[in-house]
Amino acid sequence: ADDGLISSGVLPNEDHTFQRRDRVEVLRSDLSAFSCEVVHEASAVSVTRVWGGPSVVVHPTSGPSAVVPTPSKSRPSVGLDPPTKTHSLPYIYTALSKPVGLPGIHEFTAMGLLDDRMIDYFDSENQVKVPRQEWMRERLPADYWDKGTQSRKSKQQWFKVNIGILMERMRQNDSDLHVLQWMHGCEGETQPDGTLRFVRGVDMYAYDGNDFLSFDDRSGVWVAPIPEALLTKRKWDSVQVLKEYTKGYLENECIDWLSKFLNYEQQQPRNTCMYDI
């Protein structure tokens, strides 16, 4: 930031991938050598490119960027009991403080994910919630999508208002790009009888790529990791019905939808393909 670095933060693309753009201005009169290094810890790939030169790709084998094996979500079976497996249903909302004029990047997007597969999508340009899986389109009635569209439109306005509040609270310049994100959902574990047991809920906000506020579903309070979020924490903690609704949604309603979606997906013939608009 001291060098004038401007970052878009992590933004979703329409093809289920993500992007981030960072830029800094350099004077033509500056004759220094410049290079850009990108370290992607999850894949243990480091790319360094010298301005005007070729890219150098490094695959580190040790250190903080090394690949760490991901533990399996399935547990080994004991006796004749079937193995348990964890499933997830998160919803991710991303709002920008202003248009960026880039293809596929909208001021507001919302998507639902079932075990990391996108199942529905909404953006501020098309203004309609649509299915991204064939079984979602076939099994859910038209009023589900109508209500979902109205809900997404309302959330789009909520995000627009609250980005303005946060920018004013942090005394930020409205000429810069700011990003407010919200992720909420649940994880459930299959039981021997086929039912889902609630494992944990997630309800968290990020602002400009940093954690801003999250809900502790065990203690039923909001957690503020930065001073700028304390005002929101105190306000939301004082609304008992909000805490009860959030906890109830994560532990009950979300799990019900997760179970229903898994059932719909399992009943779908294997030769069907993704439904995109």
Residue at 152 is within a domain: yes
Residue 221 and residue 219: Cα distance in Å, rounded?
6
Output the pLDDT for position 271: 46
- What is the number of residues in the chain? 277
For 163, the domain range is 86-267
Inter-CA distances, 34 with 2, 21, 27, 52, Å: 16, 17, 12, 9
Residue 253 and residue 276: Cα distance in Å, rounded?
27
Q: What would you measure as the largest C-alpha separation in the chain, in angstroms?
A: 73
Output the pLDDT for position 29: 82
Residue at 81 is within a domain: no
Q: Are residues 163 and 263 in the same domain?
A: yes
Q: In whole numbers, what is the pLDDT of the chain averaged over residues?
A: 82
Output the pLDDT for position 152: 95
Residue 80 has pLDDT above 70, yes or no: no
Q: Are residues 48 and 93 in the same domain?
A: no
Residue at 67 is within a domain: no
Give the residue-averaged pLDDT of 38-54.
75
Please tell me which of 51-55, 122-126, 217-221 the model is most confident about, judged by mean pLDDT: 122-126
**Per-residue confidence at 157, pLDDT binned at 50, 70, 90?**
very high
Which DSSP helix (H) or strand (E) runs through 216?
A: strand 210-216
Residue at 41 is within a domain: yes
Tens digit of pLDDT for each residue in 125-152? 999 999 999 999 999 999 999 999 999 9
Output the pLDDT for position 42: 65
Residue at 97 is within a domain: yes
Q: Are residues 189 and 99 in the same domain?
A: yes
Assign residue 130 the CATH number of its domain: 3.30.500.10
Cβ contacts of residue 54 below 8 Å, gap of 6+?
none
Q: Yes or no: say if 94 and 109 are a contact pair by the CB < 8 Å rule.
A: yes
Q: Are residues 50 and 115 in the same domain?
A: no
Q: Are residues 193 and 105 in the same domain?
A: yes
Residue at 71 is within a domain: no
Count how many domains the chain has: 2
Residue at 272 is within a domain: no
Tens digit of pLDDT for each residue in 13-28? 666 667 777 878 888 7
Residue 214 and residue 237: Cα distance in Å, rounded?
12
Q: Are residues 104 and 21 in the same domain?
A: no
Q: Are residues 136 and 42 in the same domain?
A: no
Residue at 186 is within a domain: yes
Output the pLDDT for position 59: 61
